[in-house]
Amino acid sequence: MRTFVLGFIAAFVILPIGALGYFRLGLAEVRSDAKPPGWESQLMGSAVRASVRRSAAGIQSPLPTNSDETLVEGGTLYFNGCAGCHGEPGKPEEDLSHYPRVPQFAQVATQYSEPEMYWIIKHGVRMTGMSAYGPFYSDKEVWALARFLRRINSLPSGVLERIQAKKASGSS
């Protein structure tokens, strides 16, 4: 009984007070130019993945499959608004200022599905460099961005050239 009571006190009193103290005393680092401890990255990373999966469950793209137009539209938006952080195919950014690091899509395939990426682009991920783009793009544009990112490393021939030509001519 005694051990049980002590265990109870440890679990429900000391641990929560300790955790609260850790955060309230400023012991948790918030700077983004230092690597967070492994437990924090793991905990936050898995919390973000689980939350995105749950929030995006059941959402479906309204866009036609296999449309080069969609890829060109999404790619043009990507080059104009996202590549500065996420890198261009063949030209990864060297990111030293963000933790969590900005995923370089042309190098590392994302683990998210198209609807999950749509959700992230629209709503952002709190306390990371990834802001919510919902207020700035139409729904169709957000879907086009997600489609382009899904295919960024396996684009049909000619699509990248069309995006680059549009970029060079300054139209979006």
Binding site for ligand HEC (CB under 6 A): 48, 78, 81-82, 84-86, 98, 100, 102-103, 110-112, 117, 120-121, 125, 128-130, 133, 145, 149
In the complex, the smallest distance separating the C-beta of residue 161 from ligand HEC, rounded to whole angstroms, is: 21
In the bound state with ligand HEC, the residue whose beta carbon lies nearer, of 72 and 130, is 130
Contact 145, 112 (CB under 8 A): no
Contact 86, 104 (CB under 8 A): yes
- Can you tell me the distance from the alpha carbon of 171 to that of 64, in angstroms, rounded to the nearest whole number? 23
Contact 71, 166 (CB under 8 A): no
Q: Which amino acid is at 162?
A: R
In the bound state with ligand HEC, the residue whose beta carbon lies nearer, of 93 and 162, is 93
- Can you tell me the distance from the alpha carbon of 80 to that of 83, in angstroms, rounded to the nearest whole number? 7
In the complex, the smallest distance separating the C-beta of residue 106 from ligand HEC, rounded to whole angstroms, is: 12
In the bound state with ligand HEC, the residue whose beta carbon lies nearer, of 3 and 138, is 138
In the complex, the smallest distance separating the C-beta of residue 156 from ligand HEC, rounded to whole angstroms, is: 20
In the complex, the smallest distance separating the C-beta of residue 114 from ligand HEC, rounded to whole angstroms, is: 10
- Can you tell me the distance from the alpha carbon of 76 to that of 168, in angstroms, rounded to the nearest whole number? 11
In the bound state with ligand HEC, the residue whose beta carbon lies nearer, of 85 and 162, is 85
Q: How far is CA 19 from the centre of its chain?
A: 27
In the complex, the smallest distance separating the C-beta of residue 118 from ligand HEC, rounded to whole angstroms, is: 8
Cβ neighbourhood burial of 151 (10 Å; 0-12, 13-18, 19+): middle
In the bound state with ligand HEC, the residue whose beta carbon lies nearer, of 21 and 126, is 126
